[in-house]
Amino acid sequence: MDNNIWEENVKGLSKSRYVAGLQCPRMLYYIVHNPTELPEPNAFDRYQMEQGTFAGKYAANFFKNAARIPEFPIDFALQKTQEAIRAGKPHIMEAAFTHENVHVKVDVLRRLDNGKFDIIEIKSKTKVEPTHWDDLAIQMYVLQQNGLEINAAYIFHLNKEYRHPDGDLFLLADQTEKVFSKLKEVPQNIKQMTEILARIEPPEQDIGPQCSRPYKCGLRDECWQHIPELSIFNIPRYRGKWDFYRQGIIELDHVPEDFIGTGSQMPFIESYRTKKPKVDKSGLNKFMGLLKEPLYFMDFETIQLAVPKYNGTKPWQQLTVQWSVHKLTGNGEPEHFEFIHTEKSDPREPFIKSLLDMLGDTGSIIVWWVPFESGRLKEIADAFPQYQPQIASVLARIWEPYEASNKYYCDWRFKGSNSLKNVLPVMVPGLSYDPLEIQEGGTAMAEYARMLGLPGGPEKQQIRQNLLEYCKLDTLAMVEIHRALEEFL
């Protein structure tokens, strides 16, 4: 579990800092010495952290007769941990330990009858990840240095197979073997990180895959200043970009003439070299010719709950809460329809009833990214079988302009991405998200959650209006991109 108060007051290494240091030593230095120079989490990141914190607190309820160690001050937490151990408590929550300026808090320290202990780390993920082994390894090392004999190490994580309210919400996954294999690396890692933190200036670190794996790094803007806005990193799905970088090839102008790409890579390179869109008019004409009027341009917004509360839902499931549709017939002006669920009740059935009533029985339905909208519709069909025939009909009518822009129309100004936010300013320069309060889906989710938490009043109404305007622009953008593509036929 995350513990911000503890982290803010720790002066040396902690388990999260240790994991960060393994990813990038420069990032570790900034976390400890220059935290104010790191960007604040965005609205979506904050929302996910809040959900993760809630899941962690919920998981703590599964451990009975537990002693709960206060977060701060650190010396007091250390003292209370030792008192709980001496008292023989079966579970100690947030047990605090330190060794040579390395400080850890164990989510759950479980005492066994033989006097040994288990370390249990609570995670809001639905599976065990490799970074979790390092997280547990630093804890095991510090506890061993404090004289505790460790029996096993576990991750207590959300169960992706859970369906509310039946089954086990959390699973206890034994990671002892993996953690012991990592344990031998810990002393040397601590030594190196301690030396880094003792420096006056942050260490130099070239960019690499670690800038986004396993987590996105807050130093990207600083470390990537030498990379132009358009570079080899924009070549779509190209796995050899780091090979290019190590050869000193960064700008697209320096990509070898004999470069052979696959899929959308060559059209992107060719478009860049000619500074013109690469258009397959025959394929585009065939694709557009399959559409049947009226055309429905459709977009969904969702919310995710780490701990599900509606029947049949799973952890982190994308729950549909809002839709926008623009209906277009011929050369006429599009009609706009919309829905947003503003109550704390299950949004899925009101969502699908209103959507099905609006879509009718004929006409092609256009969504930007088929797997997302289709996936949500299939989940609703599974949860509400009475709507399955109508949803199946809707699914059969769905088309994807992303496919058209990806296969038949490529423009280097998309910067290698066919996301709506990249395509729109190029194909429809007069239409922009810039004036909106909400400009992307992650913020929309966070703001929706904030709206639900408000009792009412002007602020809640304003958030509702902001959400409607954002989703409306998504579908209007698709209408205008569709019209722009028609001009090439």
Q: Mean pLDDT for each consecutive 10-residue tract of the chain (489 residues)?
A: 55 93 97 94 96 96 94 92 96 97 97 97 98 98 98 98 97 98 97 96 96 93 95 96 97 96 92 95 90 96 98 98 96 95 97 97 95 97 98 94 75 94 95 97 98 95 98 97 89
Domains contained in the chain, number: 3
Q: In this structure, is residue 234 part of a structural domain?
A: yes
Q: What is the distance between the alpha carbons of residues 181 and 184, in angstroms, rounded to a whole number? A: 7
Residue reference for tokens 């202990």: 117
| CA 35 from centroid of its chain's CA atoms | 22
Residues forming a β-bridge with 326: 297, 336
Looking at residue 407, what is its pLDDT? 80
| CA 4 from centroid of its chain's CA atoms | 20
Same domain, 341 and 264: no
Looking at residue 412, what is its pLDDT? 97
Q: How far from 114 is each of 88, 141, 150, 258, CA to CA, in Å? A: 12, 20, 11, 67
Q: In this structure, is residue 219 part of a structural domain?
A: no
Q: What is the distance between the alpha carbons of residues 409 and 488, in angstroms, rounded to a whole number? A: 10
CA distance between the termini of the chain: 55
Contacts of 214 (CB under 8 A, 6+ apart): 23, 129, 130, 131
Which of residues 238, 257, 276 is at a domain's end? 276
Residues forming a β-bridge with 318: 304
Report the run of H or E that residue 326 belongs to, with start and end: strand 318-328
Looking at residue 71, what is its pLDDT? 85
Q: What is the distance between the alpha carbons of residues 325 and 482, in angstroms, rounded to a whole number? A: 14
Looking at residue 489, what is its pLDDT? 78
Domain that residue 254 falls in = 226-276
Looking at residue 3, what is its pLDDT? 55
Which amino acid appears at position 23 of this protein? Q
Q: What is the CATH number of the domain that holds 188?
A: 3.90.320
Q: How far from 142 is each of 84, 115, 277, CA to CA, in Å? A: 18, 18, 58
Same domain, 254 and 284: no
Same domain, 357 and 428: yes
Same domain, 271 and 300: no
Looking at residue 9, what is its pLDDT? 57
Q: What is the distance between the alpha carbons of residues 400 and 390, in angstroms, rounded to a whole number? A: 20
Same domain, 144 and 157: yes
Q: In this structure, is residue 371 part of a structural domain?
A: yes
Please answer whether residues 3 and 105 qualify as being in contact, where contact means their C-beta atoms are separated by less than 8 angstroms: yes
Same domain, 182 and 296: no
Angle, helices 348-359/370-383, rounded to nearest 10 degrees: 110
Looking at residue 404, what is its pLDDT? 67
Q: In this structure, is residue 343 part of a structural domain?
A: yes
Looking at residue 403, what is its pLDDT? 66
Same domain, 352 and 319: yes
Same domain, 253 and 334: no
Please answer whether residues 97 and 78 qualify as being in contact, where contact means their C-beta atoms are separated by less than 8 angstroms: yes
Same domain, 253 and 369: no
Beta strands 365-366 and 295-304, pairing class:
parallel
Q: What is the distance between the alpha carbons of residues 182 and 180, in angstroms, rounded to a whole number? A: 5
Reported pTM: 0.94
3-state SS, one letter per residue, for 47-100? HHHHHHHHHHHHHHCCCCCEEECCCCCHHHHHHHHHHHHHCCCCEEEEEEEEEC
Q: Where does residue 276 rank: exposed (0-12), middle (13-18), buried (19+ CB within 10 A)?
A: exposed
Q: In this structure, is residue 206 part of a structural domain?
A: no
Same domain, 25 and 150: yes
Cα dihedral 129, 131, 132, 133, rounded to 10, equals 110
